[in-house]
Structure 1
Amino acid sequence: MDLNDMDLISRLPEDLIYRIMQRLRVRDAARTCLVSKVWINHFWPSYSNFEFSIRGESDQKVELECSLINERLQKSCILQNQSIKRLKLAVCWCSRYLTNNCSSFYDQLSHTAAEGKVVELDLQFNSCLSREYVWNLQPIVLATNTIQVLKLGGDISLLSCSDVDVQLPLLHKLVLSHVEVDDEVLESLLSKCPLLTSVKIQGCGKLKKIELLKHPLLSKVKVLDYSSSVLKKIEIRAQNLKNVAVERCRNQGFKMEIEIRALSVENVLVKDSSDLKTEIVASSLDNLLVQKCYTLTIEVEATCRLKRMCLQDIRMSDGNMFSKLVSKCLSIEEMVIERCDNFTSFKVQKIFHNLKKIVVGGCYHLKEINIFEAPNLRHVELTYCNNLEILEMDAPMLEIICLGAVKENILEKLVSKWVSIKDMSFENCTGLNSLKLQGLPELKMGKSQELW
């Protein structure tokens, strides 16, 4: 028999065909099932991965699509007594007439999803009209005990669920993006989700505080897009917390308090924010990254084993904050300071046994670097610190130096003091012609030949 005449796909095991179908978008799955009566009658009714997007200004078109979606869900899942694995629906409209109709459709969809034992529910309800047109989330959504992933975004209000007995025992991922929710509703929601591992809260303007206190499995938290003075406190206490990100939180007139308590944290990111007071209490912290922040205060517990700290584009009212922070973290392995204009001096009279690398760049007002002792420091990069006058580091094991736009006296001090240097590179450095490189038998020049 000619292989070209054989239907090889139909010969695949049924469970494999089913898995392939579940990975297709709903439109592609529907088209695929049309090629076979067996598929349309057997596999299509069991399809449970739905993703719909409705956009436009045509009232008739949106109404038709809404009714077809609801009918499709009821036939495939309710009649077949199967759960909906994933349901994502994004509706964007620009018609006042559709406001009530779309809200009614969302109400029906909520009940269909709950009855269909939905596992992952993603609802985005966006109006091009004013913010007064919102959809009140149906209480049945927060009482669907099969939901494991819940994502709500846009013009959705959770305020109507203030008296709901929340039942989400399996929920492990929660995303709230620009929805209407207050402290009471959020606290009620979070308190009934013991298995939460990931939380993202974005631009929910009525929140005054975010507290995550009773979630032992929580590992990832992200809070972003707060430009008002409403949100005042973020408190996270979780034993297994690994990643925390706070982005674009710009407060005016007061400091937002951020408190993080965990056993061992991998990454803490604070980005594009201002007026923050951050306190980290943990036995270890792998990476602390702070970018584009103003009037920021960070406090780390003295016993915390911080491995890597990176500060970029920082303007702080307290010029000594960095020195105070580093002096508590004697186990640090790498420090990066870039484009921090307010830094004028960096003095730490401590012994850093684990410090291996220091990178300082674009700190034009930095005049002094003084590190008492770093016996294992091997790599130093100093670039565009034009006003640096004093450089004191007790680093007998230093091997690699990268210099860019620093003064001649700094170059001479580096070369004369550290005879262990094996690799040195320059960029835009004056005084290189008169620089003596004697006494460095193992020195290898880096990428600097064309700059001499």
Structure 2
Amino acid sequence: MTFFIEMTAKCRTKDMISTLPQNIIETILCHLHVRDAVRTSVLSKNWRYSWTRIPKLVFVEDTFKELTAGSDQLSSLEQGIVLQNPHNKILKKCKFLYVIYQVLLMHQGPILQFTLDIEACEFARCLEIDQIILHLSRSNTVTELKLRLRSGDCDPYQLPLSIYSLHQLTDLHLRGCLSEYCKLLQSLSDFYHLGHIPLIEPLFERLRLIGHLTIANEWMDMCLTEDKVPRKLATSLVHLKYLSLDMCFICNLGLPLLAFLIKSSPNLEIINLLSRECCIWNPNPVTLEDHSDIWLEHLYELKIEYVANLKTELEVVKLILAKSPVLKKARIVLDVKIAADGVPQVLPAPLVHLKEFILQDMCYIDEYGSPFLSLILRSSPNLERLFLTMYHDTSLDTSEIESVTLKDYADVRLEHLNEFQIVDMHNLKHELEFVKLILKKSPMLKKVSIFVDPEVSKDEEMLISRNLLHFPRASPLVEVIVGRLDDD
């Protein structure tokens, strides 16, 4: 008991916080909001101004508004702004920018990671953001830059030329940003008849160390046509491993950029594509022959969202699948339906390395996702995990539509499948027939999880369970679970 009291007394007299190593202090500060990181200066002498050396700075306008709600104290700079423009929204944004400026001016160490999430519609030219990027380019230490700029109905933010001076960048995330070259092209009346003009070469030629690239901007493909995008960079982006594009693949605007990046990035490992609508329509679909020189030798993970009933999008999916010899994981999110006549029977080469496939918004009704799913299963002889999320179109009368029969999957073999899952399943004949197929053609199957839709009644859930008990099974060890996702 005496020993315990002595140890407690020693712990009280010893300042554990002040003795922490500087690298530990910086790690702690990196996980705090900037405001809280600044406040740690009062903890002890060793912590004073330690926040000025943290390598990671994150500024999110919405979070700043929540933390400063109810604060009426204004700086002299802010008071001058209020006199010129009394609007409260502008005032809050000025307070936010003032905090950023103060932090950057007092910061002493290298800034490795910088994130700015702000609504940029209020500023016609966004000179304030230009100054921030200019400041970062002068030190030239940033390796990860994330710009999430929400412009609303206003024109998107134009990236300043100073961004090309960030030669150490390895991770670049752009949302709501527009290249200055794109803005130049928008002002030309003969936009679609111009010869080749360098739009994106300057960015990538100067930022050759990029390892992660995210471009989420609907304006970008408005400035790109096939004759405006170079076939390939003079110097390959050998460090680029992750590519995420929020583009339109309908009108031949987004695919040239995708093809350009693939050809210029020989070591791509992960591709994430978000397909969306475009206001320009081009009826000429893209074919595999147009980009036969594409090769994704190292791609092992693919995600494509909102693949719709459009030949161009299907060609993109087929293109990537056909050119990815070591693909291990694929996730496809369907946009309501895919026409059966747009899906081939087989791929040019089997996906021998594909182990996991995820298909969302799937429907087994004829001319929906079933032809696409059968293509994947037929082309993936070593598939081990299959996950489906169902889509149920209440506008269709399923009693008048013929279901996909087992003969559509007669040549499908699932010799290595060990896990199968369906989410949001209804008690429909089409779905039950497919589960029956999986059980019949999977000799190595170990686990089947079926999560019914919330609208399915308890009686229907019990009926599904009883039906599954009578289905033939190729695997004697398979465990079938029927339930709901919200069950404990």
Q: TM-score, normalised by structure 2?
A: 0.60
1:216-235 equivalent positions in 2, closer than 5 A: 216-224=238-246, 226=248, 229=251, 231-233=253-255, 234-235=258-259
1:98-117 equivalent positions in 2, closer than 5 A: 98-99=123-124, 103-117=126-140
Equivalent in the alignment of 1:268: 302
- Pick 1 or 2: higher relative contact order, CA cutoff 8 A, min separation 6: 2
Q: CA deviation at 1:219?
A: 3.0
Q: In 2, distance between residues paired with 1:191 and 1:272?
A: 31
Equivalent in the alignment of 1:176: none
Residue in structure 2 matching 1:347, options 403, 409, 426: 409
Q: CA deviation at 1:109?
A: 1.8
Residue in structure 2 matching 1:138, options 160, 163, 166: 160
**Does 2:95 align with 1:34?**
no
Q: CA deviation at 1:111?
A: 1.9
**Residues 224, 405 of structure 1: alpha-carbon distance in 2 compared, 3 angstrom cutoff:** farther
1:68-107 equivalent positions in 2, closer than 5 A: 69-77=100-108, 82-92=109-119, 95=122, 98-99=123-124, 103-107=126-130
Equivalent in the alignment of 1:8: 16
Contact residue 161 and residue 185 of structure 1 kept, 8 A: yes
Amino acid at match of 2:178: S
Unaligned runs of 5+ in 2: 1-8, 66-86, 185-195, 392-397, 452-461, 484-488
Equivalent in the alignment of 2:324: 282
**Does 2:444 align with 1:404?**
no
Q: In 2, distance between residues paired with 1:188 and 1:323?
A: 43
**Residues 160, 15 of structure 1: alpha-carbon distance in 2 compared, 3 angstrom cutoff:** same
Q: TM-score, normalised by structure 1?
A: 0.64
Aligned to 1:304, what secondary structure does the other structure show? coil
Deviations 1:184-205 (A, max 9, x none): 4234423444443322222333
Aligned to 1:404, what secondary structure does the other structure show? helix
Equivalent in the alignment of 1:51: 58
**Residues 325, 127 of structure 1: alpha-carbon distance in 2 compared, 3 angstrom cutoff:** closer
Contact residue 275 and residue 306 of structure 2 kept, 8 A: yes
Q: In 2, distance between residues paired with 1:195 and 1:12?
A: 34
Aligned to 2:327, what secondary structure does the other structure show? strand
Backbone CA RMSD of aligned residues: 4.7
Q: CA deviation at 1:34?
A: 3.4
**Residues 147, 337 of structure 1: alpha-carbon distance in 2 compared, 3 angstrom cutoff:** closer
**Residues 270, 34 of structure 1: alpha-carbon distance in 2 compared, 3 angstrom cutoff:** same
Residue in structure 2 matching 1:159, options 180, 184, 203: 180
Contact residue 167 and residue 208 of structure 2 kept, 8 A: no
**Residues 273, 29 of structure 1: alpha-carbon distance in 2 compared, 3 angstrom cutoff:** same
Q: Which has the higher strand share?
A: 1
**Residues 364, 74 of structure 1: alpha-carbon distance in 2 compared, 3 angstrom cutoff:** same
Q: In 2, distance between residues paired with 1:145 and 1:195?
A: 7
Contact residue 136 and residue 160 of structure 1 kept, 8 A: no
State the identity %.
Answer: 17
**Residues 329, 34 of structure 1: alpha-carbon distance in 2 compared, 3 angstrom cutoff:** closer
Deviations 1:373-408 (A, max 9, x none): 968444596989xxxxxxxxxxxxxxxxx9937979
Deviations 1:43-91 (A, max 9, x none): 35434433334468444554455345324423433xxxx4223333333
Equivalent in the alignment of 1:329: 380
Equivalent in the alignment of 1:200: 214
Contact residue 301 and residue 327 of structure 2 kept, 8 A: yes
Deviations 1:195-217 (A, max 9, x none): 43322222333414788884344
**Residues 289, 330 of structure 1: alpha-carbon distance in 2 compared, 3 angstrom cutoff:** same
Q: CA deviation at 1:138?
A: 1.6
Aligned to 1:289, what secondary structure does the other structure show? strand
Q: Which has the higher helix share?
A: 2
Q: In 1, distance between residues paired with 2:464 and 2:245?
A: 37
Aligned to 2:410, what secondary structure does the other structure show? strand
Bigger radius of gyration among the two: 1
Deviations 1:133-184 (A, max 9, x none): x443221112222333333333x33124899xxxxxxxxxxxxxxxxxx994
Q: In 2, distance between residues paired with 1:272 and 1:193?
A: 30
